[in-house]
Amino acid sequence: MTDIKAVLRAQHIETPSWAYGNSGTRFKVFAQQGVPRDPYEKLADAAQVHAHTGIAPTVALHIPWDKVDDYADLARHARELGVGIGAINSNVFQDDDYMLGSVTHPDARVRRKATDHLLECVDIMDATGSGTLKLWFSDGINYPGQDDIRARQDRLTDALAEVYDRLGDGQRFLLEYKLFEPAFYATDVPDWGTAYAHCVKLGPKAQVVVDTGHHAPGTNIEFIVAFLLREGRLGGFDFNSRFYADDDLMVGAADPFQLFRIMYEVVRGGGLDPEAGVAFMLDQCHNIEPKIPGQIRSVMNVQEATAKALLVDRDALAAAQAAGDVLGANAVFMDAFNTDVRPLLAELREEMGLAPDPMAAYAESGYFEKIAAGRVGGEQAGWGA
């Protein structure tokens, strides 16, 4: 059990700054009490998640939602709070110029503008000490014939190559794919294969990020994870869960068994080893639930799935698999999934000097009452959409 605890103690989950701000759907964004008004307050909230779970030491930023005058000062503030700046997320999906695309737009002026934003994000990586740029493109078309699918790939290739060449030592970018939305006919980076192909062409600093909400219903995501890990191209995850589309619900909430299967392939493929460089990021929106507890619960869901995955009796599984013992192998797998790991994790937290129940500890901390009373006035942070 000791080595499982050692692996769990070293787990590193990254929370997204935008999960602490207001978010919603096209129908409504519900404002909540105590929501941060700037990136400094977002970091303070993220630090609470780390303080109570012990395994969420970095925060992903999104530009321009987290635009500040002095990024080095923001990174200093993070350090003072006991967290670090993680992935820098670009945003070429909210400007009027990007209606027909950003780096794939027919107009070279728009492509230049979009690529310059991506290069600015690398400058922000330099200023904050972040090693990871996450690229998601909403680019796509809504009607057949609207634009040339092949030409858009040529334009995307040019932009990615320019950004790739700008990356410094110890820096990489993660290319995110998504089947649809906001484009509803063809998305320019719709699936893992397209992202993988672009990354392989570019070089080792380009890897794929798997957002668990970005697949067609019924997609075997753990197969994609196993394949990308085997190829050394799994750069990270955007964890969330969904019942229908890109719902961005708490990871593990909709399908804890799928999360377990994904984390088993991560364990099996050596993805928990620090040198594998897999970034375990959350990408969620707490539209109706309190945001900091929502993040704490999400981190715990990944931790529970990881503990169960680490409990799979690999020798027994391998023996059953080799013997063609279908039911035996499945039983070994399900035994781990059906194991209640909460006592183990409560014990681990106490050994880490934390309260056994992070949700209860946060509720008793009085932090929410403090921010609800203190954060009056000013404009609450959101997606700025």
**Distance between CA atoms of 118 and 56, rounded to whole angstroms?**
26
- Applying CB under 5 A, the span of 2-10, 248-256, 281-289, 345-353 interacting with Mn ion comes to 281-289
| Residue placing its CB nearer to ligand LRH in the complex, 156 or 312 | 156
> From Mn ion, ligand LRH, none, which one binds at residue 137 (CB under 5 to 8 Å depending on kind)?
none
Distances (CA, A) of 209 to 213, 232, 298: 12, 12, 18
Q: How far is the CB of 181 from Mn ion (least distance, A)?
A: 12
Rule CB under 6 A: choose which of 22, 58, 89, 102 binds ligand LRH: 89
Q: Is 14 in the site for Mn ion (CB under 5 A)?
A: no
> From Mn ion, ligand LRH, none, which one binds at residue 89 (CB under 5 to 8 Å depending on kind)?
ligand LRH
**Distance between CA atoms of 245 and 260, rounded to whole angstroms?**
20
| Residue placing its CB nearer to Mn ion in the complex, 279 or 348 | 279
Q: How far is the CB of 325 from Mn ion (least distance, A)?
A: 39
Q: How far is the CB of 307 from Mn ion (least distance, A)?
A: 25
| Residue placing its CB nearer to Mn ion in the complex, 115 or 240 | 240
Rule CB under 5 A: choose which of 41, 139, 147, 211 binds Mn ion: 211
Closest CA to 381 of 13, 9, 5, 16: 16
**Distance between CA atoms of 382 and 23, rounded to whole angstroms?**
6
Q: Is 238 in the site for Mn ion (CB under 5 A)?
A: yes
Two tokens, residue 155:
């334009």
By rule CB under 6 A, what count of residues binds ligand LRH? 9
> From ligand LRH, Mn ion, none, which one binds at residue 246 (CB under 5 to 8 Å depending on kind)?
ligand LRH
Burial of 189 by CB count in 10 Å (0-12 exposed, 13-18 middle, 19+ buried)?
buried
| Residue placing its CB nearer to ligand LRH in the complex, 41 or 211 | 211
> From Mn ion, ligand LRH, none, which one binds at residue 178 (CB under 5 to 8 Å depending on kind)?
ligand LRH
Q: Is 246 in the site for Mn ion (CB under 5 A)?
A: no
Mask 207-246, x = binds ligand LRH (CB under 6 A)? ----x--------------------------x-------x
| Residue placing its CB nearer to Mn ion in the complex, 45 or 283 | 283
Two tokens, residue 90:
């670009």
Rule CB under 6 A: choose which of 20, 71, 98, 136 binds ligand LRH: 136
By rule CB under 5 A, what count of residues binds Mn ion? 3
- Applying CB under 5 A, the span of 99-107, 156-164, 232-240, 361-369 interacting with Mn ion comes to 232-240
Mask 266-285, x = binds ligand LRH (CB under 6 A)? -----------------x--
Distances (CA, A) of 16 to 52, 171, 257: 17, 19, 23
Mask 31-60, x = binds ligand LRH (CB under 6 A)? ------------------------------
| Residue placing its CB nearer to ligand LRH in the complex, 14 or 238 | 238
| Residue placing its CB nearer to ligand LRH in the complex, 93 or 337 | 93
Q: Which residues 245-264 are close enough to bind ligand LRH by CB under 6 A?
A: 246
Q: What is the largest CA-CA distance in the chain?
A: 66
Residues of the shown chain interacting with ligand LRH in the complex, contacts defined by CB under 6 A = 18, 89, 136, 176, 178, 211, 238, 246, 283
Residues of the shown chain interacting with Mn ion in the complex, contacts defined by CB under 5 A = 211, 238, 283
